[in-house]
Amino acid sequence: MESVEMVLSCLLYPAPMCATIKIMKVARPVDGCHFDRERWRSRSFLEQMANIAAEVGRTFSAKRRGDEEAMTGALYRGLDLIDATAEILVEQKSPRLRELLRAREIFAGLEDESIEDYFMQYALTLRKDR
């Protein structure tokens, strides 16, 4: 995992940002993984992004309600899903990785709620295709 973290943080970002972006080592208040990683790997990129969109939506919905506990849980679940997708994209050497990591950075900051619209486009596209 550390080598993946180094690849994600140091190759894509200049040195000053490298120290601020930690992909795999985010402290989480809950124990264990929230999902089956093997099943996650079997999903298409579009399905993964649509599932991430659900957690992003839950995060900002809880933030607007002032529900700190629900917001924190959804935030960490969303970050876990983004990190799992990033691992896959690193292995595939996908050009999508840089965009996903930038979206992660914006989401983790919880300041720019427009990131919810970014992820929601994947959910809408998946729904339209079904």
| pLDDT tens track for 21-47 | 343 334 444 445 667 889 999 999 999
Closest CA to 82 of 101, 66, 98: 101
Residue 34 and residue 46 in contact, taking contact as beta carbons nearer than 8 Å: no
Cα-based distances in Å from 41 to 14, 17, 47, 79, 86? 29, 28, 10, 16, 11
pLDDT at 127: 85
| pLDDT tens track for 80-109 | 999 999 999 999 999 999 999 999 999 999
| pLDDT tens track for 43-74 | 999 999 999 999 999 999 999 999 999 999 99
| Rounded Cα distance, 11 and 23, in Å | 13
**Which of helix, strand or coil describes residue 112?**
coil
| 121-125 contact pairs (CB < 8 A, 24+) | 122/46, 122/49, 122/50, 122/52, 122/53, 123/49, 123/50, 123/53, 123/54, 125/46, 125/50
Any idea where the domains of the chain sit in the sequence?
29-129
Which has more confidence, 31 or 116? 116
Q: Quote the percentage of the chain above a pLDDT of 70.
A: 74
